[in-house]
Amino acid sequence: MNVLWLQSGGCGGCSMSLLCADTADFPAMLKSGGIDLLWHPSLSLASGRELVALLEDCRDGRTRLDVLCIEGSLLRGPNGTGRFHVLAGTGVPMIDWVSALAAVATHVVAVGSCAAWGGITATGPNITDACGLQYDGDRPGGLLGADFVARGGLPVINVAGCPTHPGWVVDTLMALAAKLFVADDLDPLNRPRFYADQLVHHGCTRNEYYEFKASAEKPSDLGCMMENMGCKGTQAHADCNTRLWNGEGSCTRGGYACISCTEPGFQDPGHAFHQTPKLAGIPIGLPTDMPKAWFVALASLSKSATPKRVKSNATADHVVVAPAVRKTRLK
Amino acid sequence: MSQRLIVGPFNRVEGDLEVQLDIADGRVTQARVNATMYRGFEQMLAGRAPLDALVIVPRICGICSVSQSVAAARAIADASGVTVPPNGVHTINLMLACENLADHLSHFYLFFMPDFARPVYAQRPWFAEATRRFAALAGEHARAAVAARQRWFEIMGTLGGKWPHTLSIQPGGSARAVEAAERIRLLAKVREFRAFLETTTFGAPLEEIAALDSEAALQRWHAADPLRGDLRLFLTLAADLKLETLGRGPGRTLSFGAYRQPDGSHALADGVWNESLGRVQPVDTGAIREDATHAWLAGDEALHPSEGLTAPMLDKPGGYTWNKAPRLSGEVVETGAIARQLASGQPLIRDAVARCGANVYTRVLARLVELARVLPMTEQWLTALAPREPFFHADRLPADADGVGLTEAARGALGHWVSVRHGRIERYQIVAPTSWNFSPRDASGTPGALEAALEGAPVQPGEDTPVAVQHIVRSFDPCMVCTVH
């Protein structure tokens, strides 16, 4: 399966993340999965004219393009010209290269939230008129249009995340190579369901603090970060706390809030990232699928039932009260 | 016969890059460097809550993400006056070193060395060995290096939650305290990376590399076992291809100082190395100006970053890049590992640069020496942690304040200048390492460091992407996404 990987309006972090894939031999892993990298900006030898010739061969059908991976948002500005990113050595705006190549690719994969929705590059005034391949924030459309379907029959596959997890990319490409990826494997935002059908909250090591609403008040505190620190882990679709990052990591395990980076529009939450917006003392963003009244009732009950251990540890950077040692064998 | 060549896209550099070359008699006579992509981070940051910068700036760059976080956290800490507890200092240095050393490893194995497996070198005596070790996506040592890098970055998984784009680096320290048992596991990870470097990269203990104090000592070490370890193979092919004659730097290098210690000093001292004087001069950040004469950006006057301006102006006459031209006291400077090694007095790099200047050979050598010098420091910082003492101090940012955050990314000096008014960011200016190295001409027409370094580069008949130009460009380890930001 021939894979061509191009970068535009992003930071290259999804490629750097990809190289952290959990394997003892990265090129061998790709090869054994049936993945042939036609070209990747960090990994391939070809430069300059050699690459331009390859792009032309793909565009004109001389080289089969099975998967087009795009990393970074698509810069439509200024005034629709695409001149905020002209592909070096070609004089042609990157958006034109991407449109031409997407038209001939069997599958098109948006690697990361920039390519999926516009991402961080589209924040605030969106000076560069950045968008995703098939979304403009949470609105279908983007560079290729809401009706785009790649030759293989699927819309753009949005492997969203900022950066995206190396496992999400590798699993997607391997499933495509094995012809085991079908329309039903995509969620309503066209993200692979194998990671998007879960919440960051699942497997969070702070779950006991969440249960008792024992909350962190400042960075480095151990408590739940939902009430004060802006954490969106109960709403964000991703398996970050069950499929860990760089060994044993995740944002919440690293001591900071989930900013919901797999969701369209995460870059403009409408409040400071590090603070939870509240109405009458209650966080506005409540857990997915949970009625507000129940949340409020459970929260007030659990707060009043919080063990001293959990309460004390929530606002410390290490465990100050260890679980009590009791005989449990005879119970 | 003279001709003009537009070269690009360059891969194995971070981001998109185009170089325009004028060529006569088989040599480059003039070069212009174009950073081809604009995103506008300085414009995005204006109007935001100050701490939003901690989310936004790492996303300038996926390869120098931690460096951008450190600069932002320091700029905000400077504005609030908060001090970082020693544990916070050490953990942030560990994260920065984790990224910087991984970047040096990626540069050597993935970005720079694969070019020596090109068919153009097929007749050289070292070609088969270089191909076996470094060929793109196939070389045995390159593949082992990716695996070693993946394991090494698990330090970031523990300390930073993930890499790139952590939020654990805060103005008041680290949001992630380290327990005593975790430190043991982290030390084991450092030793694992040390083992890779000592076996594959150097074929020698790191301390032996760091102790090389002259080129004569380096040559003796090389001659003793010419193919053992990848540094020796690099020395073999560098001598054969005379890489020291390619890509001469401007003769001045800038380091803001790397790995600030709890007492305020730096593990690798700051300074401006002046080749003609043969000594280090202090860094005067007040003498930095950014000139937009040849950028597609508004502004005719060179401004200090604390007063800087960023506004796209696509059809500006004379513009040929999105990058501004930073100058120090009006002069072009080079930045990177070579600047840090010169400023901190590493004798081998000082000796080599005294003989042949900053060039393709000395830049790569400086990175490898830095790998050998800094890894043992990470062991010391881990040992210095005091579990259960604070890692973070809370702070309160005034509604109106200004701050400067300086640090060293793998590629060199990085500075952030922030102004906060009425509790919001009013102005945010970033001067990145490759902004220095790959700057365009300034108002006086003086070319940037790479532009000048390319002058005189050989172009073989029929070459459309000259291999010597590729060596020179990649010797700077450019990061184009940081350059323009």
Which residue from B15, B40, B164 is facing A127, i.e. has the nearest CB?
B40
pLDDT of A329 reads: 75
pLDDT of B35 reads: 96
- Amino acid in position B191: R
Report residue B39's pLDDT band, with 50, 70 and 90 as the boundaries. very high
For the segment A246-255, the average pLDDT, to the nearest whole number, is 98
pLDDT of B437 reads: 98
How far is Cα A112 from Cα A117, in angstroms, rounded to an integer? 9
Question: Nearest Cα to A225, choosing from A283, A265, A308?
Answer: A283
**Bigger pLDDT: B119 or A291?**
B119
Q: Do B136 and A51 touch (CB under 8 A)?
A: no
Cβ within 8 Å of A, B 155-174 = 156-168, 170, 172-174
- Whether A291 has a pLDDT exceeding 70, the answer reads yes
Q: Do B38 and A128 touch (CB under 8 A)?
A: yes
Instruction: Tell me whether 0.85 is exceeded by the ipTM.
Output: yes
Report residue A326's pLDDT band, with 50, 70 and 90 as the boundaries. confident
Q: HEC profile for chain B?
A: CEEEEEECCCCCCECCEEEEEEEECCEEEEEEEEECECCCHHHHHCCCCHHHHHHHHHHHCCCCHHHHHHHHHHHHHHHHCCCCCHHHHHHHHHHHHHHHHHHHHHHHHHHHHHHHHCHHHCCCCCHHHHHHHHCCCCCHHHHHHHHHHHHHCHHHHHHHCCCCCCCCEECCEECCCCCHHHHHHHHHHHHHHHHHHHHHHCCCCHHHHHCCCCHHHHHHHHHHCCCCCHHHHHHHHHHHHCHHHCCCCCCEEEECCEEECCCCCEEECCEEEECCCCEEECCCHHHEEEECCCECECCCCCECHHHCCCCECCCCCCCCECCCEEEECCECCEECHHHHHHHCCCHHHHHHHHHHCCCHHHHHHHHHHHHHHHHHHHHHHHHHCCCCCCCECCCCCCCCEEEEEEEEECCEEEEEEEEEECCEEEEEEEECHHHHHCCCCCCCCCCCHHHHHHCCCECCCCCCCCHHHHHHHHHCCCEHHHHHC
Buried b (16+ CB within 10 A) or exposed e, B397-424: beeebbbbbbbbbbbbbbbbbbbbeeee
For the segment B290-309, the average pLDDT, to the nearest whole number, is 96
Question: Nearest Cα to A200, choosing from A170, A167, A226?
Answer: A226
For the segment B310-322, the average pLDDT, to the nearest whole number, is 95
How far is Cα B247 from Cα B451, in angstroms, rounded to an integer? 9
Report residue B254's pLDDT band, with 50, 70 and 90 as the boundaries. very high
Query: Taking CA atoms, what residue in A is nearest to B424?
Result: A272
pTM: 0.98
Q: Please indicate if any CB of chain B lies within 8 Å of the CB of A127.
A: yes
| Distances in whole angstroms, Cα of residue B273 to Cα of each of B250, B335, B344, B345, B457 | 11, 10, 10, 10, 25
Q: What is the mean pLDDT of chain B?
A: 97
Residue A8, both tokens: 């535009």
pLDDT of A286 reads: 84
Listed range (A257-261, B10-14, B283-287, B457-461) with the worst mean pLDDT: B10-14
- Whether A315 has a pLDDT exceeding 80, the answer reads yes
Q: How far is B211 from chain A (nearest CA, A)?
A: 32
For the segment B459-465, the average pLDDT, to the nearest whole number, is 94
Report residue A290's pLDDT band, with 50, 70 and 90 as the boundaries. confident
Q: Do B137 and A27 touch (CB under 8 A)?
A: yes
Per the CB < 8 A criterion, the answer to whether A284 and A278 are in contact is: yes
Q: Please indicate if any CB of chain B lies within 8 Å of the CB of A27.
A: yes
Report residue A330's pLDDT band, with 50, 70 and 90 as the boundaries. low
Q: How far is A293 from chain B (nearest CA, A)?
A: 31
For the segment B108-123, the average pLDDT, to the nearest whole number, is 98
pLDDT, tens digit, for every residue of A118-144? 999 999 999 999 999 999 999 999 999
Per the CB < 8 A criterion, the answer to whether B253 and B333 are in contact is: yes
Instruction: Sort out which chain B residues have CB atoms less than 8 A from A35's CB and list them.
Output: none
| Distances in whole angstroms, Cα of residue B198 to Cα of each of B227, B368, B473 | 14, 12, 28
Reduced to 3 states, what is the DSSP secondary structure of residue A141?
coil
**Residue B30: φ, ψ to 5°:** -150, 145
For the segment A144-164, the average pLDDT, to the nearest whole number, is 98
Q: Which residues contact B125 (CB under 8 A, 6 or more apart)?
A: B240
For the segment B134-141, the average pLDDT, to the nearest whole number, is 97
Q: Which residues contact B305 (CB under 8 A, 6 or more apart)?
A: B288, B290, B415, B417, B429, B430, B431
Q: Please indicate if any CB of chain A lies within 8 Å of the CB of B314.
A: yes
- Whether A331 has a pLDDT exceeding 70, the answer reads no
Q: How far is A17 from chain B (nearest CA, A)?
A: 7
Ramachandran sector of residue A34 (left: φ over 0; alpha: ψ -120 to 50; beta: rest): left
Bridge partners (DSSP) of residue B335 are B254
Which residue from B146, B154, B465 is facing A19, i.e. has the nearest CB?
B146
**Sign of the alpha-carbon dihedral angle for A275, A281, A282, A285:** negative
Q: pLDDT above 90 covers what percent of chain A?
A: 93
Q: Do B162 and A27 touch (CB under 8 A)?
A: no
For the segment B334-361, the average pLDDT, to the nearest whole number, is 98
Q: For the range A280-283, what are the long-range contacts, defined as Cβ-Cβ under 8 Å and sequence gap of 24 or more? A: A283/A226, A283/A227
pLDDT, tens digit, for every residue of B6-27? 999 999 998 999 999 999 999 9
- Whether B2 has a pLDDT exceeding 90, the answer reads no
Instruction: Sort out which chain A residues have CB atoms less than 8 A from B158's CB and list them.
Output: 246-249
Question: Nearest Cα to B43, choosing from B409, B405, B484, B407?
Answer: B484
pLDDT of A327 reads: 78
How far is Cα B37 from Cα B60, in angstroms, rounded to an integer? 12
Q: Do B39 and A12 touch (CB under 8 A)?
A: no
Report residue B43's pLDDT band, with 50, 70 and 90 as the boundaries. very high
For the segment B217-241, the average pLDDT, to the nearest whole number, is 97
For the segment A317-331, the average pLDDT, to the nearest whole number, is 87
- Whether A328 has a pLDDT exceeding 80, the answer reads no
Residue B275, both tokens: 């080749």
Report residue A20's pLDDT band, with 50, 70 and 90 as the boundaries. very high
pLDDT of A282 reads: 86
pLDDT of B1 reads: 65
Residue A17, both tokens: 């993340």
Report residue A289's pLDDT band, with 50, 70 and 90 as the boundaries. confident
pLDDT, tens digit, for every residue of B85-106? 999 999 999 999 999 999 999 9
Question: Nearest Cα to B105, choosing from B187, B211, B197?
Answer: B197
How far is Cα A301 from Cα A281, in angstroms, rounded to an integer? 16
